[in-house]
Amino acid sequence: MLFDGPLPGGTASFAAAPGTVHVRRTLLDKDGASIGMQETDIEVPDFRATPLAIATPILLRATTGIELRHLSSAPAPTPYPGREFERTDRLLVRFSVAGTAAMEATVTVRLLTKTGTPLAALPVAPWHGATSTYQLEFPMGSVARGDYLIEAAATRGADTTRVLVPFRVR
C-alpha cells in the first residue's frame, strides 16, 4: 500500500517504484458514504533507465480569464478529470520530460485529428522557467466541434518519445 486516506483538494502525490501500480479508489458522496469503487493500473516508468520519457500530462480547464491566470501560475492545481470541453473553455496542458537525455531534448506539441492526421503545430514553453516541465494553452474555440488529439513529443538524436491526449470539443 502506497497511500490510504482522504484526498484533501482532490489530489494525492506519493513515491512509487517503476512498474505497475494498482490504484483502487473508493468514491464517496457528500456525506462520506461509499457510492462505489474504481480500479485501474498505472505504469510507472523507470525515468533513470530511459533516455526520454514524458510523464502523464495533466489537463487544466479554465472558463474565465481570471481562472486561466490562476491555473497558469498555480504550482499544484487540481487537474480537470474530463476530456470534454465547451468551445468557450481554454485548456492548459502541463507535462514533464524526464530521462537521461531530457535536458537536451527538443519538445514539440501538435494538434492531430482523432485518426492522427496532423492539423497544426502548437506553441509550448517551459512552465515558469522550469527545465523539464512544459505548458501549452489551447483555446477550444479555435477548432470545430469534434474529437482531437494533442501530441506532445520529445526528441534528442535517435531518442524520441510521445504521448497523446484525446479530447472532445462540444
Look at residue 31 in the predicted model and tell me its pLDDT.
87
Question: Residue 168: pLDDT above 90?
Answer: yes
Sequence-separated contacts (24+) of 99-104 with Cβ below 8 Å: 99/47, 99/50, 99/51, 99/52, 99/53, 99/159, 99/161, 100/48, 100/50, 100/51, 101/51, 101/52, 101/156, 101/157, 101/159, 102/52, 102/53, 102/132, 102/154, 103/131, 103/132, 104/156
> Each residue of 92-138: pLDDT tens digit?
999 999 999 999 999 999 999 999 999 999 999 999 877 799 999 99
Residue-range domain boundaries for the chain: 8-44, 53-169
Reduce the DSSP state of residue 103 to 3 states and report it: helix
C-alpha to C-alpha distance for 107 and 126, rounded to whole angstroms:
9
> Do residues 71 and 62 make contact, with C-beta atoms less than 8 angstroms apart?
yes
pTM: 0.81
Grid cell at residue 169: 470539443
Q: What is the CATH number of domain 53-169?
A: 2.60.40.10
Given a cut of 80, whether residue 11 has pLDDT beyond it is no
User: How confident is the model over 51-67, as pLDDT tens digits?
Assistant: 999 998 999 999 999 99
